[in-house]
């Protein structure tokens, strides 16, 4: 009952009837689908069943901080991934600080690789020289071993012959033989100790040379590091100086632009003021002409009115005189005629004065207008001259500035070309030196090979003569001599190394026996047919 209840209740909720499973029934072990969440002796009718919404609310209140922390971690991870993607995108851009730095690092890496290649060439030369030095004692040791084996064989043959000729069992002969053997063993031990001392001295010499080479390499590396730091510092100073020059140049250009704009602004203001003054003058002239026209019209109207009045007065006078003439005598007619002439003369005098006054006013107005126009033309001409002089001064200053800039650019281009020529000459010199060193090395290798070939030929001729003499003079085994004569120290089965003085190394098996591997020479390829080769075991290509 307890087990059934445990399988039916999950997280405080009823999940219905459990389905039967044949695998569980047939199993030997009593497996449970879910681990028991309640004690086995709990009455399920007394268990409080929490609704799903309350259960989710409780879980949210408990796991809220965990989910919030997970969200924060996810946001940080997304920001970090976006930052990495951005870095990956702009990594290959050439106009960024990182791109410029990357290009400089690549250039430095390329220079370091070239220097490393040169150092490897020098190391290879040193190694080759050391190998040549080591090879000389090996050749001498080979000759010494050959001579020693030859002497040992002669001594052994002599002993065998003496033993055959004199088979004596006296005690004196045995003691003498024992003394001779001890003496020979002692001599061999002394020779071995001497060889060991020589080898130790040679090894110490080699260690000393290695240490000197390491110290020299360390000094060279430190010197290169110092040079690199100095170059880096010089580059930084050069960049700072160029940045300062660029800032100064931009500042000068901005100042000149500002002055030019200020000048143009002042010029526009002056032009606007002059235009306003011109408009005011034109307005005054228009008002003056309008006033003059009005005065002329008023004068004409007044003259017409005066003329009309005078005509009316004349008519009245004439009518009056005609009546007086009719009424008075001839003397009275004469008096009236004289009075009328005086009146007409006075009127004509006043009219002449008015006309002369109007002419004088018109002449004064005309003179003032001509004077004003002349002053205006003179001011306009003077302003144009000043503007032209100012423009010429600005153009001259601009021309001087651009000539100065061209001179600076020419100097910088000249310096850059000089540096470039120096770099090209240095590269050509380094290339020539490397080529010359390589040719010298090849010539040295060729001469060394010729010398080794001559020594090898001389040794082979001498060995053939000795083997021939020994084989003809005595009936002895000459196999040790033949084996010693074989090319390369040790007479191995390996390939002949021409670059190491014709050495022929031996190769051992990688097992406990340590036997020398045989030398097999194949006459051709065994698997030439692809259709047959692909059918071999392990090939699954179709």
| Whole-number Å distance between alpha carbons of 125 and 122 | 5
Which of 375, 282, 279, 284 is CA-nearest to residue 271?
279
423 confidence band (pLDDT: 50, 70, 90):
confident
Nearest Cα neighbor of 249 from 393, 416, 408, 415 is 408
Length of the chain: 542
Determine which of 140-144, 168-172, 184-188, 339-343 has the lowest per-residue pLDDT on average. Answer: 168-172
Q: For residue 321, what pLDDT is reported?
A: 72
Q: What is the mean pLDDT of the chain?
A: 75
The per-residue pLDDT for range 173-230, each reduced to its tens digit, is: 667 767 877 887 788 888 888 888 888 888 888 888 888 888 888 888 888 888 888 8
Residue 387: pLDDT band with limits 50, 70, 90:
confident
Span 9-20, average pLDDT: 44
More confident residue, 5 or 98: 98
Helix axes 97-165, 171-327, angle to 10 degrees: 170
pLDDT-derived band at 42, boundaries 50, 70, 90: low
pLDDT of residue 160: 72
pLDDT of residue 388 exceeding 80: yes
Q: 129-160: per-residue pLDDT in tens?
A: 777 776 666 666 666 766 777 777 777 777 77
Please state, in angstroms and rounded to a whole number, the distance separating the CA atoms of residues 142 and 458: 14
Maximal C-alpha separation, the chain: 230
Enclosing H/E stretch for 326:
helix 171-327
Q: Residue 3: pLDDT above 60? A: no
pLDDT number for residue 19:
44
Percent of the chain with pLDDT over 70: 72
pLDDT band at 491 (very low <50, low <70, confident <90, very high): low
pLDDT higher than threshold 50 for residue 14: no
Q: What is the DSSP string of 386-435?
A: HHHHHHHHHHHHHHHHHHHHHHHHHHHHHHHHHHHHHHHHHHHHHHHHHH
pLDDT at 532: 60
According to the model, what pLDDT value does residue 492 have? Answer: 62
pTM of the model: 0.24
Compare 58 and 11 and report the one with higher pLDDT. 58
Other CB atoms within 10 Å distance of the CB of residue 501: 21
Q: How far apart are the first and last CA of the chain?
A: 63
Which segment of 350-364, 472-486, 492-506 scores lowest on mean pLDDT? 492-506
């Amino acid at each position: 009952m307890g087990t059934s209840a445990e399988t039916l209740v999950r997280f405080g909720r009823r999940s219905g009837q459990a389905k039967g499973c044949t695998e569980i029934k047939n199993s030997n072990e009593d497996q449970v689908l879910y681990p028991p969440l309640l004690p086995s002796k709990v009455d399920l009718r007394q268990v409080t069943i929490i609704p799903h919404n309350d259960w989710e609310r409780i879980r949210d209140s408990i796991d809220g901080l965990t989910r919030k922390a997970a969200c924060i971690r996810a946001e940080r991870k997304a920001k970090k991934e976006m930052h990495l993607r951005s870095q990956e995108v702009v990594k290959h851009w050439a106009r960024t600080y990182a791109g410029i730095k990357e290009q400089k690092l690549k250039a430095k890496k390329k220079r370091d690789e070239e220097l490393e290649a040169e150092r490897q060439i020098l190391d290879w030369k040193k190694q080759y020289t050391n190998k040549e030095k080591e090879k000389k004692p090996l050749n001498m040791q080979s000759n010494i071993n050959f001579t020693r084996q030859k002497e040992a064989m002669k001594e052994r043959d002599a002993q065998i012959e003496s033993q055959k000729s004199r088979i004596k069992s006296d005690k004196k002969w045995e003691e003498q033989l024992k003394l001779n053997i001890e003496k020979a063993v002692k001599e061999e031990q002394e020779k071995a100790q001497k060889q060991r001392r020589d080898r130790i001295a040679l090894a110490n010499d080699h260690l000393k040379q290695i240490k000197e080479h390491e110290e020299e390499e360390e000094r060279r590396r430190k010197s290169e590091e110092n040079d690199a730091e100095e170059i880096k510092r010089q580059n930084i100073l050069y960049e700072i100086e160029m940045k300062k020059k660029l800032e100064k140049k931009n500042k000068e250009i901005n100042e000149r632009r500002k002055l030019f704009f200020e000048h143009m602004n002042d010029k526009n203001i002056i032009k606007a003021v002059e235009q306003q003054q011109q408009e005011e003058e034109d307005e005054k002239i228009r008002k003056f002409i309008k006033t003059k026209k009005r005065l002329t019209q008023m004068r004409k109207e007044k003259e017409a009115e005066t003329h009309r009045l005078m005509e009316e007065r004349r008519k009245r006078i004439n009518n009056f005189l005609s009546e007086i003439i009719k009424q008075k005598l001839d003397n009275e007619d004469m008096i009236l005629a004289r009075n009328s002439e005086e009146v007409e003369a006075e009127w004509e005098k006043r009219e002449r004065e008015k006309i002369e006054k109007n002419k004088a006013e018109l002449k004064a107005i005309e003179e003032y207008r001509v004077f004003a126009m002349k002053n205006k033309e003179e001011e306009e001409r003077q302003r144009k001259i000043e503007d032209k002089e100012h423009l010429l001064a600005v153009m001259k200053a601009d021309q001087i500035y651009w000539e100065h800039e061209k001179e600076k650019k020419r100097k910088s281009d000249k310096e850059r070309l000089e540096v470039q020529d120096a770099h090209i000459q240095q590269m050509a010199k380094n290339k020539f030196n490397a080529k010359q060193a390589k040719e010298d090395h090849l010539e040295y290798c060729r001469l060394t090979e010729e010398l080794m070939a001559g020594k090898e030929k001389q040794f082979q001729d001498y060995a053939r003569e000795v083997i021939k003499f020994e084989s003809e003079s005595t009936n002895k085994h000459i196999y040790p001599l033949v084996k010693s004569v074989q090319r390369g120290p040790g007479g191995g089965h390996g390939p002949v190394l021409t670059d190491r003085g014709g050495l022929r190394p031996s190769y051992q098996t990688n097992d406990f026996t340590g036997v020398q591997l045989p030398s097999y020479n194949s006459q051709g390829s065994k698997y030439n047919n692809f259709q047959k080769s692909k059918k071999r075991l392990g090939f699954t290509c179709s």
